[in-house]
Chain A
Amino acid sequence: MKAYSKPDRAALPVVLDASDVSVVIDGKVILHGITFFIPKGEFVCLTGPNGAGKSTFLKTVLGLVKPTSGRIDILGKPAHEARASVGYVPQRKGFDRDFPARAIDLLVATLRGAWPFRVTEIERERARKALVRVGGEKLIDKPIAGLSGGETQRVFLARALINDPVLLILDEPTAGVDTKGRAEFMDVLSEISRSDELAAILVTHNLAAIARTAERVVYLQDGHLAAWGLPHELMGRQSLEALHSNHGHALGEPSASADESPRFADDD
């Protein structure tokens, strides 16, 4: 097996530490002994074919699924005790689009852990700052029902950032977003990926997204960690292409444009 470059555990504090994580659901093994870690400030792209276990891994990191064996620590705490330190942008937005609320209500709900009756000036300012960070300050009072796909992603990203997390989790955030919204969102993600403070996991099939954001890539395959290394190591001829060809998908070179980039498979 090819040797990939791992981060130096001693160089920076470890934010996410997955140690031999296995998850069995309804008798089916979804994750097999996943072991890797993310140091402070590192932006990791988690990729692999559909059904590889990416979403289950994220749910385990979020503390929504308990590992059957092994453990996930976030800054030394078990995942389910560290939820406040994690910002999360879900793939499918499960919220009711008809809900009578503005963007600021959602952001303040995340701050408080409860839906706001009234928003204080301090809360408004924190919401505004989070939206400024994602280029969405104009959205603050916009009804959620009126947000476009790209705007919704910005609001959800601001929501994920509002509590100053140490770890940001993005589950295929541009799935279902139009071309323009996707390109704009990738610009924001690219900016965030340069942060030295925030560690992040971006689940994506999109090679351009990996090219623009990844400082390290984790490739899952059939619930196993198939590769963990630097983007250029995995995106060379004998790397992702070889890994992925095992699954019969075509793989091209990454393009500069996020919206026209080659993909492993449709976002799931």
Chain B
Amino acid sequence: MNFLTEPLSQPFMVHALLAGIMVGGLCATLGVFVVQRGLSFIGDGLAHACFGGIALGLLIGTTLENSTLVALPFTVLVALGIAYVLRRGRLRGDVAVGVFFSFSFALGVLFLGLRPPDAPVVNVESVLFGSILAISEHDLWVIAGVTAVSLLILGATWSRLAYATFDAELATLSGVPVAALDYLLLALVAVVIVVAVKTVGVALVSSFVIIPAASARLLGQSLPGVALIALGLGSGGAAAGLLLSYHLDVASGATIILVMSAVFAVTVLARGKRAS
């Protein structure tokens, strides 16, 4: 019982748990479409674009806290750029993401280097690896707002997004606005990535998008089933990892990802055993 009550007696842990559950669930649900479309690399690409946006914010004089306000439009623009290149259809998804990934990260490094020598020192480690234990009440409200709006948009477009994910041409013939949905999905992933970077950082955020969705894909028989399992694994994995990290006194972001990876490994092994 202490496993739960002791951490929950700490306000910072309550904030972290709520943030982890929301971000984990949201990333995983979006991840179902990302994984199914073969765009698993997109999480990494947009996280590095977010780094470029944060660096731009710092260059123009915002604090690290407020740099999200610059990172958000910057990352969404990069996401729309990737969607545009993907829709041109001449490059594979990994190539398009790879180009934008490198470009944004290089811009980020350049922006940081251009800051005046007397600019405040930035804790780059917190950008790269997140700081879920430092989530403030204000952060929590932002995360809750983004989660609510994203889930509403996802709920409203889910069945058309699913059809477009299955086969874009057939969906177009059935009247589904495939192009608009392609842009919407990547813009939504960008927004969620920017928010999630605060919790697990640039280096690990794509795991939130990919790992629970990949595990769910192995377990579910239908797309709605996969989405619900991903939601559970994303939220549950974040909560379990956070509690475990508290008791083991180790890095929380990394522990969350390791818990999600362990679930994935068990799922793969179980599927392999069943298949044999």
Residues of A within 8 A of B (CB): 62-64, 83-84, 86, 88, 90, 93-96, 98-102, 105-106, 109-110, 112-117, 143
Contacts and interface: CB of A to CB of B under 8 A. Distances in A.
A217 B176 CA distance: 33
B28 to A, nearest CB: 15
A86 B38 CA distance: 30
Contacts of B176: 113-114
A100 B168 contact: no
B166 A90 contact: no
Given A94-B167, A100-B223, A115-B159, 10 more contacts: A84-B175, A88-B170, A94-B168, A98-B217, A100-B225, A101-B166, A105-B222, A113-B175, A114-B159, A115-B163
A134 to B, nearest CB: 17
A233 to B, nearest CB: 33
Contact of A96 (B166, B169, B224): B166
Contact of A115 (B166, B168, B169, B217): B166
A109 B166 contact: yes
Interface in B188-242: 217, 220-226
Given A90-B170, A95-B170, A109-B174, A114 B163 contact: yes
Contact of A62 (B159, B162, B173): B173
Contacts of B175: 83-84, 113
22 contacts: A62-B173, A64-B172, A83-B174, A84-B175, A95-B167, A96-B36, A96-B165, A96-B167, A100-B217, A100-B222, A101-B166, A101-B222, A105-B222, A109-B174, A110-B170, A113-B160, A113-B175, A114-B159, A115-B158, A115-B162, A115-B223, A117-B158
Contacts of A113: 160, 163, 174-176
A86 B172 CA distance: 13
Nearest to A115: B162
Nearest to A99: B166
A84 B173 CA distance: 8
B160 A100 contact: no
Nearest to A88: B173
Contact of B221 (A90, A116, A143): A143
A72 B166 CA distance: 29
Contacts of A62: 173
A162 B74 CA distance: 45
A94 B169 contact: yes
B39 to A, nearest CB: 12
A116 B37 CA distance: 18
Contacts of B170: 88, 90, 94-95, 110
B268 to A, nearest CB: 15
A193 B172 CA distance: 27
- 8 smallest CB-CB distances across A and B, nearest first, come from A115-B162, A114-B159, A95-B167, A113-B174, A115-B163, A115-B159, A113-B175, A117-B224
Nearest to B167: A95
Interface of B: 36-38, 158-160, 162-163, 165-170, 172-176, 217, 220-226
Contact of A90 (B36, B37, B159, B169): B169
A143 B165 CA distance: 17
B63 to A, nearest CB: 43
A114 B224 CA distance: 13
A109 B221 contact: no
Given A113-B176, A114-B160, A100 B221 contact: yes
Of B167, B172, B221, most buried by chain A (CB within 10 Å of CB) is B167
B137 to A, nearest CB: 35
Contacts of B166: 95-96, 99, 101, 106, 109, 115
A106 B158 CA distance: 15
Contact of B220 (A83, A100, A116): A100
Nearest to A113: B174
A105 B226 CA distance: 14
Contacts of B226: 100
Given A100-B217, A110-B174, A116 B159 contact: yes
A170 to B, nearest CB: 14
Contacts of B222: 100-102, 105
B16 to A, nearest CB: 32
B206 to A, nearest CB: 20
A114 to B, nearest CB: 4
B173 to A, nearest CB: 6
Of B38, B221, B224, most buried by chain A (CB within 10 Å of CB) is B224
A99 B223 contact: yes
Given A95-B166, A95-B167, A114-B159, A101 B174 contact: no
A79 to B, nearest CB: 11
B167 to A, nearest CB: 4
Contacts of A83: 173-175
A64 to B, nearest CB: 7
B160 A115 contact: yes
A99 B35 CA distance: 10
Nearest to B175: A113
